[in-house]
Structure 1
Amino acid sequence: MSLGDEHGGLGGRGGGTGQTRTRLPDTGSPDAYGTPRRTPRASRSLITVVGVVVLLIAAIAFANRGSGGGGDDGTDAAAPRTNPTAPTGVPPVTGKNGPLPAGFARDEQGAQSAAANYAVALGSDAMFQRDSRRAIVRAVHDPAVAEDLADRMDKAYSATLLSSVGLGEDGSAPEGSTFVSRTIPVGTKVVDITGDKATVEVWCTGLVGLAGDDSTRPVTHNWFTLTEKLTWVGGDWKVASSSQKEGPTPVNGDNRAATSDEIADAVAGYGGFTYAR
């Protein structure tokens, strides 16, 4: 989900030095995704809805959180030393907690990997259905707060909220439509790591909306930075609390907006990743 302010587009590799040209939008396209006047309204509405849900997580405070310190070592060690567009660090984990990766290393890279993967899970379309949402919340959060947060999430994902994004009360999409909610991490940064506490920022882009011929909520993208406070518990990093803010947001390119069928096919045909720093 594009877990606006906040939650979850697609990154590209840099390196080109060619000319850049600007293409004006094609206002004659009959598809919902090519109609500029409808997209801003839908984007603003969906971003607000997703932001409300994710900010609920940020409201959970913990009395036993670490006070910080030692952030200078964590930040410097985590920064890439050569090509900033290249992946750095160790391979992904091989463990699983249900459908989610688990067994992250107790170090800066492990904390960043955990934060990126948890951002993906919390911004997924599975969060819009009760059973899968509660399973995700329990899997990624500190057990000390997971159950209370799961109950809060049930209230946040109300029938009103689901209706506002075009879904039924059970989180299902209308017949003939595909609901899209994906968070894609672009990069991670350790803000602080001390003992069994870590604070990690995850820069993300997110996709959210309904792909379908009759959709009035076309799939849009937004950019946000998610800050996750992690704690080491039960042999793994878990989320203690999280918050988010808008951006950094790049300038839109001159790509042609896809049709609803193209978006639906892409969502069905392209799977996600297990992320590692």
Structure 2
Amino acid sequence: MSPDDERNDGRFGGSGETRTRLPEGEGGGQGVYGGARRSSRSSSRSLVTVVGVVVLLIAAIAFANRSGDDSSGGGGGDGDGKKAGAAPTAPTGEKPVDGKTSGIASGFAKSEQGVQSAASNYAVALVSADILKPARRTEIVRQVFLPNKVDELERDFAKTYSKEFLDKVGLDANGNSAPGETYVSRTVPVGTKTTAYAGNAATVQVWCTGAFGTAGQKTTNPVSNDWFTMTFKLRWSGGDWKVERYSSKDGPSPVNGDNKVSTADEIAKAVQEYGGFTYAR
């Protein structure tokens, strides 16, 4: 995909957790050693209750162990690796990558889980404020894309993020905002889906949200929220997943909440103080 397909408004542009509550111990207001002596009938009921709780605990532990085995094995390999009954939105448990190259996570596993992790991190990089900085953009393109696509993409990006475009969003030729203003482009992957996977090639969709715009007292491009889905076609190259092409479309978008709008200073401070994440499926 050519960056010309991107939205030209400067906004081009986790994981679920299940908790099992174990049964709590039974008991009245009196301790085992205090108060009136229990009748034999009451003792029998208590014994049955205790046995029931123990059985439930054992069943819960067995279920948790079985679920853990399922999640760690799901999504890998070239075939139908998903276990029957596994929730598609559950985290798979693949170990995150250990390293970064040019500030971007690298060394993803050659698996369905690994390619989803790669797509998530690439979405964050390609829709970041850094992509508007010529020097940083070169590093991102060379890290994210297939080697035979780099030269073409560098030319296309330079054409898309022209001086006219940067002027429109209030940035100088180096992608820097005016004094007293902070340009914001933060992307957060909400979920991923593999639509094709065949060993050395995959197509992954990444559902994203984020904050985009300029935080400043006199800005005409205030920071706002956006929802969009990016589609990546990736190939295994040089021991890692690389992007061959990508595209973006709006949504799915939820109804806006009644959140109190923060000031420009609060948004700028949050961008400076809160760091991002390395994403793993």
How many residues are matched?
216
Deviation at 1:135, TM superposition (A): 0.7
**Structure 2 counterparts to residues 174-253 of structure 1, below 5 A:** 174-253=178-257
- The counterpart of 1:170, out of the listed 163, 174, 188, is 174
| Structure 2 gaps, min length 5 | 1-5, 20-77
CA RMSD of aligned residues (A): 2.7
Which residue is equivalent to 1:47?
none
Name the counterpart of 1:81.
86
Q: Which has the larger radius of gyration?
A: 2
Tell me the distance in 1 between the aligned counterparts of 2:261 and 2:172.
Answer: 27
1:111 maps to 115
Q: Which runs of 4+ in 1 moved over 6 A?
A: 10-15
**C-alpha separation in 1, matches of 2:164 and 2:200:** 39
Q: Residue type of the partner of 2:201?
A: K
Q: Are the counterparts in 2 of residues 124 and 182 from structure 1 also a CA contact under 8 Å?
A: yes
Aligned equivalents of 1:11, 1:266: Cα separation in 2? 22
Shift of 1:92: 1.2
CA–CA separation in structure 2 for the residues paired with 1:152 and 1:255: 38
Q: What's 1:255 paired with?
A: 259
TM-score normalised over the length of structure 1 = 0.72
CA distance in 1 between counterparts of 2:219 and 2:131 reads 21
Shift of residue 154 of structure 1?
1.0
Q: 1:78 to 1:191 in 2, by over 3 A?
A: farther
Structure 1 residue 147 corresponds to structure 2 residue 151: yes
TM-score (norm 2): 0.71
Q: Distance in 1 between matches of 2:232 and 2:105?
A: 17
Task: Tell me how far 1:77 sits from its aligned partner.
Answer: 2.7
Q: How does 1:41-120 map to 2 (within 5 A)?
A: 77=82, 81-82=86-87, 84=89, 87-120=91-124
- In 2 relative to 1, CA 79–181 (structure 1 residues): closer, same or farther, beyond 3 Å? farther
How far 1:98 moved relative to its partner? 2.0
The Cα offsets for residues 7-52 of structure 1, whole Å up to 9 and x where unpaired, read as 46x999999xxxxxxxxxxxxxxxxxxxxxxxxxxxxxxxxxxxxx
* Alpha-carbon contact 1:4-1:223 (below 8 Å) kept: no
Q: Secondary structure at the match of 2:241?
A: strand
Q: Is the 8 A contact 1:202 1:227 kept in 2?
A: yes
Higher relative contact order structure (alpha carbons within 8 Å, sequence separation ≥ 6): 1
The whole-number CA distance in structure 1 between the counterparts of 2:101 and 2:256 is 37
* Closer/same/farther in 2, CA of residues 14 and 123 from structure 1, 3 Å limit: farther
Contact 2:111–2:199, Cα closer than 8 Å, also in 1: no
> Does the residue aligned with 1:242 lie in a helix, a strand or coil?
strand
Residue 124 of structure 2 aligns to a residue whose secondary structure is: helix
Counterpart secondary structure, 2:194: strand
Amino acid at match of 1:105: A
Amino acid at match of 1:102: S
Deviations 1:108-167 (A, max 9, x none): 000000000000000110111101001100100000111211121111110110011111
Deviation at 1:91, TM superposition (A): 2.5
Amino acid in the other structure paired with 2:253: T
